[in-house]
A = this chain, B = another copy of it.
Amino acid sequence: KINSERLWNTLHETCEWGADHRYGENPTDTGMARLTLNDDDACVRRWFAAEVQKLGCSLSVDQMGNMFARQSGRLNSAAPMIAMGSHLDTQPRGGRYDGILGIMAALEILRTMKESGFQTNYDVGVVNWTNEEGARFPKSMCSSGVWAGAIPIEKAWDLRDIHDPNVTLRSELERHGYLGDIACSSDPATGYPLGAHFELHIEQGPILPGNNRSIGVVQGAQGYRWLTMTVHGKDAHTGTTPFSARQDPLLASSRMIAASHDIAKRHDALASTGIIRVPSNASTNTVSSQVTFTLDIRHPQDSVVHAVQDECLKAFEAIALQDGKGVSFDWTLDTDSPAVKFDENCVASIQAAADGLVGREKSMLLTSGAGHDTVYTSKHCPSAMIFVPCLDGVSHHPTEYCSPQDCALGTQALLEAVVHYDQF
């Protein structure tokens, strides 16, 4: 049985590195700004390395700075370890649980095993994946992506700090001594293969709290595609130009955003626009010459993601002709993350743990709405995830909150799932 107080205290003590955005009076009433490989991230990494070594783990660091802590199993088997992984980096206005809970839970599990003299059959361990958020170096799930062979390491190394193009991910790895010598790969010959990957994470959405459930058994992740649309029109004076003579990209973009929502809704899918930009010299009395906006389309089935995209593009073509003299548009595909189904045996181990801890009334099968490192690991080893609820589904926000009870319950479920899988 894990020590829930130790878990809670350790999590919040280590959040001193990167605490920011105070919103209340309690010591822990802050969010986090622990951006990948900044000085605070380097501090929490060094602390993590020391803690796992104190527990007798061996520690390996690969060429993306991914940290692998390994506890030997009873059988002294050469098989790759069963990993519990997540990330210690945060969003610039992030919270204290996203990623961090997964690492702290894994550490608490190793501490509990050590304390109680419990040994797994096979090696178990923790992975801290570098730059999951992609907030400082703009590629999310960056280093699990390299590990899985989905992102070329040169591309990842060359990612630039979004505020300082002179700083690369690689230069920051070097500065902090986290450019390891193991290949970032699942290849047993050169890299660090894993026997399985389990990740505890906050849900970051409203489904668990809305259904009054405390454990989500995550059976996969939905597919998503990110498009950037650019709509081209023509500057025109808003006072002197009749509607019939206009090519108004902002009017067209507005109709496109509304249409994409309505199309996705009909498919029970999601389509969202987070960013829209007009040129910096836009003015109240000028029709803008160009507008760009993002489109994020998601659904658990890839075929639906594609159907929504196709229907949106068709609708956009009609909208482009609709007002005045019409506009033109083009688009780029920025991210293509197909749907994944997690490993049946890993899911079964999590379900068994949930059944024992809270029963079927308090757990539920879920598909992750967001991408996680486990999406990448699942391509190279059996993988699955556990979700616990966060307050009102709020995440990527300083006030993100997961109660001590839910943190402890998720950690206990992770422990039991790993033990279950180890025995299986």
Contact = CB atoms under 8 A, between A and B. Distances in A.
B275 A240 contact: no
Contacts of A135: 283
Contacts of A368: 239-240
Given A237-B204, A272-B287, A274-B287, A92 B251 contact: no
A340 to B, nearest CB: 13
Contact of A284 (B236, B237, B296, B369): B296
Interface string A276-291: 1110011111111000
A323 B92 contact: no
Interface stretch (A108-116, A188-196, A306-314, A392-400): A392-400
Contact of A275 (B241, B255, B284, B393): B284
A356 interface: no
Contact of A241 (B238, B334, B369): B369
Contacts of A4: none
Nearest to A337: B239
A237 B396 contact: yes
A206 B240 CA distance: 8
Given A257-B251, A274-B285, A287-B274, A237 B205 contact: yes
Interface in A250-302: 250-251, 253-255, 257-258, 261, 264-265, 270, 272-278, 281-288, 294, 296, 298
Contact of A238 (B240, B253, B272, B394): B272
A251 B240 contact: no
A371 interface: yes
A326 to B, nearest CB: 14
Q: Please tell me how many copies of the chain the complex holds.
A: 2
Given A254-B253, A275-B284, A207 B239 contact: no
A342 interface: no
Interface string A380-422: 0000000000000111110000000000000000000000000
A250 B238 contact: no
Interface residues of A, number: 65
A254 B258 contact: yes
A191 to B, nearest CB: 29
A261 B251 contact: yes
A206 B245 contact: yes
7 contacts: A243-B261, A248-B272, A250-B257, A250-B274, A274-B282, A275-B278, A285-B296
Interface of A: 92-93, 135, 140, 203-207, 210, 222, 224, 226, 234-243, 245, 248, 250-251, 253-255, 257-258, 261, 264-265, 270, 272-278, 281-288, 294, 296, 298, 323, 334, 368-371, 393-397
Given A205-B242, A206-B241, A238-B298, 20 more contacts: A204-B240, A207-B240, A224-B239, A226-B284, A234-B394, A235-B397, A237-B370, A238-B270, A238-B296, A241-B369, A243-B265, A245-B393, A251-B273, A254-B254, A254-B255, A272-B285, A274-B282, A274-B284, A284-B294, A286-B396
